[in-house]
Amino acid sequence: MELTITGVGGEGDGVAPGPIYAPFTLPGERVRVTGGGDRRELDAVLEASPERVEPPCPHFGVCGGCALQHWRHDAYLAWKVSRLVHTLSLQRIETEMLAPYAAQPGTRRRVALHARKGSRDAARIGFKARKSWDLVSVATCPIADPAIEAALPMLAKMAAPLFEHPKSAPTLHVTLTPSGLDIEITGVERKSGGLSADARMTVAEVAAEADFARVTMDGEPAYMSRQPTVRLGQAVVALPPGAFLQATPQTEAAMVGFVGEQAGGATRIADLYCGVGTFTFRLAEIAPVYAAEGSAPAVKALTTALATAPGLKGVTAEARDLVRRPVLAEELKKTDVVVFDPPRAGAAEQTAELARSSVAKVIGVSCNPATFARDARVLIDAGFSLDRVLPVDQFLWSPHIELVGVFSR
C-alpha cells in the first residue's frame, strides 16, 4: 500500500489518514508500507521529506532505543514541543512555552544494557529490538557518553558469568560518574541461591581489569575500588547503589539553574521527591530547605553530603512516602516555594495538599507531560496559574519530552 504521511504520532511513527501508522516516516512523505491493521512496516520512501537526514547510528531501525534519528533536529524538536502543547491543551491549559533545552549526542551518562548468553568469555549486550524482546547487540551508541561506549567490550565480558541459571536475564544499569563507571546488575536468578562464589569472583576480576568504580547486584556489593560520587551544587554526594540521576549532566545543570532562578527570593523552600539532592543543594543556597524522598538510602546520601557543602542556609531531610504520607498543607504554612519532581506516575496525592496550601509558588519538574498536566489542572483550579514551561529534550531521538513548569498564585 502507498500512503502520504500527514503527521507524526505520540510514539514517533508517521501517521496517514485512517489512521495508519508507519515507523521512520515524516510529514509530507509518500511511502510504501507492508502488513495489515493500523500499524504497518515501512517498505520504501517514494518521495522523501526535505527534513529527512541520514541516521547517525548503524543500529537505527532495528534497535528499539531510538525512533527519530531520521528527522532533522530543528523539526524534530519543534514536534516535541508541539506534542507538549497539545498534552497541556487536553487539560485546557495554555502557557508561555520557553525555548527548549536539548541534550546533545554523546552526553548520556546512564544506560540500561540488557545481557543475553553468548560465548564463555563474553555475553551479548545491547538494547531490546523494536517491538520485540529480542536483543540487538550494540558496538556503538551515539547517545551514550564515549566512556560508556568504550566500556562495552568489558561490560560484555563481565556479564558472561551471570548465566548459571537458565532463567537469568540480567540488565546492567550503567552510570558514568567522575569516579568512574558505577554498575548495578539486576535480573540474575536468586531463588536458586544466586551466583556461585566462582562466578562472583569472575565478575570482580573483570571489574578490576576494566577499572570500574563499583559493581553491585540488587544493591549488594560485588566489587568496589572507588566510591562513586557526583557534585551537586557545592556538595559532593556519595551515590547509593542504583541511585537516580538525571540522564545527562548538561540537562541537569540547565534544569537546576532554571529552578534556582525561579525560586529566587524565597524565604523557605520544600523540595519534594528530592532524590539525592539534585535540586536541594542549589535551593539551599537561597533559603532553608525541607527535603523529602521515599528512598531512605537517597536521603542518607543527601544528609551525609551536607558536610561537604559549607555555607548553605540549612537543610532538613526526611525519608517519607509522599503517596501514602504527602506533606500536608498545614506543614507548609511557613513555606513560600515548593519544588516537586515525581516519578512518571505524577504527584496526585501531594498536589492535592499543595492546592490546599498557602504556598505562593510551585515549581514542577516532570518526565511525563500527561501526569504533569493532570496535576497542573488541580493547582490551576485551586487558584494557581501556570506562568511558563521550560521543555527539556533529555532523551534524544525518542518521543519523550520532559519539562519544568512554574506556578504562582
- Write out the catalytic residue numbers: 367
Q: Which residue, 250, 303, 251, is CA-closest to 274? A: 303
Beta bridge partners of 136: 127
Q: Which residue, 120, 160, 127, 123, is CA-closest to 144? A: 127
Which residues lie below 8 Å from residue 386, measured CB to CB, with a gap of 6+? 88, 93, 95, 376, 379, 380, 405, 406, 407
* Residue 349 assigned to a binding site: no
Residue 44, C-alpha cell as written in the block: 520504501
* Residue 341 assigned to a binding site: yes
Query: How many Cβ atoms from other residues are within 10 Å of residue 277's Cβ?
Result: 29
Secondary structure class of 162 (helix, strand, coil): helix
Cα–Cα distance list, 184 to 50, 114, 181, 269 (Å): 43, 12, 10, 33
* Residue 273 assigned to a binding site: yes
Indicate if the alpha-carbon torsion angle 209, 210, 213, 218 is positive or negative. Answer: negative
Residue 366, C-alpha cell as written in the block: 516532570
Q: What values do phi and psi take at 45, rounded to 5?
A: -95, 115
User: Binding site for S-adenosyl-L-methionine, residues?
Assistant: 246, 273, 293, 341
**Positions at the binding site:** 246, 273, 293, 341
